[in-house]
Amino acid sequence: MVNTFFPTHWNTDLILDQLDIHGFCVIDKMYDMKYFTALNTECLYSLNEFRAAGIQNGVVSHIRSDHILWLDDAQPLAKQHTNHLLALGKVFNQAFFMGINHVEAHFARYGQGEAYALHRDNPQQKNDRIISTVFYMHDVWQDDWGGELRLQDKHDLWHIIVPKPNRMVIFDSHLLHEVQMSKEQRLSITAWLRHDDQVW
């Protein structure tokens, strides 16, 4: 049985400092390998349920080409991950008074040639997303396979973040970012910590 408590090895002080100074933070070796492998398997098992993310209500978006599956109780291992994020949100609330009370998340798959153009997750504060997170779940990745997260920090400096397995990126949802074209299958959980007036 995989533990469901907040991972004690996460350096929350470092996370808070990096978010405060730069607007983003990178965490490597997020989980023990037993849980990481099981989570990867859960995602792969559901691949046939993924749908094109660029199609919303019949309208095709041309800025993204990935495929996603929104998470619910049918993915219990992924649910543990979102529970950890909600616990992290409480830490953010104590430090930054963000009012986070909800996490929305989906599995994401970028196949060969797929990407997501430059965007913000909370453009002009039109939704309740406060913090964005991306957790990489593929079991192997090489630097020349692309799929990097290109992110502009609070000081308008650009960063290229390689999607290494078992790595998570946490960043302010207002920051500009993009997913560069992937050359291999790239798997992740993308999640947003929200301050909804009414929890779903």
Mean pLDDT value across the chain: 90
Task: Residue 81: name the closest of 131, 171, 159, 6 by CA.
Answer: 6
**Structure tokens given for 39:** 């989570």
Q: Which pLDDT does position 121 carry in this prediction?
A: 93
Q: Which pLDDT does position 196 carry in this prediction?
A: 83
Does residue 194 carry a pLDDT above 50? yes
Average pLDDT over residues 6-27: 89
Residue 20 lies in a domain: yes
More confidently predicted of 60 and 118? 118
**How many domains does the structure of the chain reveal?**
1
**Structure tokens given for 51:** 């749908």
Residue 200 lies in a domain: no
Helices and strands per DSSP (H, E), number in the chain: 3, 13
Q: What percent of the chain has pLDDT over 70?
A: 90
**Structure tokens given for 96:** 């930054």
Residue 93 lies in a domain: yes
Virtual torsion, Cα 71, 41, 90, 10, nearest 10 deg: -160
Contact 147, 182 (CB under 8 A): yes
Contact 100, 131 (CB under 8 A): yes
Residues 62, 112: Cα–Cα separation, whole Å: 16
Residue 113 lies in a domain: yes
Q: Which pLDDT does position 62 carry in this prediction?
A: 72
* Beta strands across the sheet bearing 186-194: 24-27, 168-172, 129-136, 186-194, 102-110, 67-70, 51-52
Contacts (Cβ under 8 Å, ≥6 apart) of 27 = 10, 15, 167, 168, 169, 170
- The band of 159, judged by pLDDT with boundaries at 50, 70 and 90, is very high
Residue 3 lies in a domain: no
Residue 7 lies in a domain: no
Specify the DSSP element, H or E, that contains 148.
Answer: none
Q: Which pLDDT does position 43 carry in this prediction?
A: 97
Average pLDDT over residues 98-123: 94
Residue 50 is part of a domain; what is its CATH number?
Answer: 2.60.120.620
Contacts (Cβ under 8 Å, ≥6 apart) of 154 = 21, 22, 23, 172, 175
Task: Residue 31: name the closest of 109, 135, 118 by CA.
Answer: 135
Q: What residue type is assigned to position 189 of the chain?
A: I
117 three-state secondary structure: strand
12 three-state secondary structure: helix
- The band of 7, judged by pLDDT with boundaries at 50, 70 and 90, is low
Contact 76, 41 (CB under 8 A): no
Contacts (Cβ under 8 Å, ≥6 apart) of 97 = none
Q: What percent of the chain has pLDDT over 90?
A: 82
**In which domain, by residue range, is 20 found?**
12-54+63-194
Ranking 50-59, 129-138, 163-172 by mean pLDDT, the lowest is 50-59
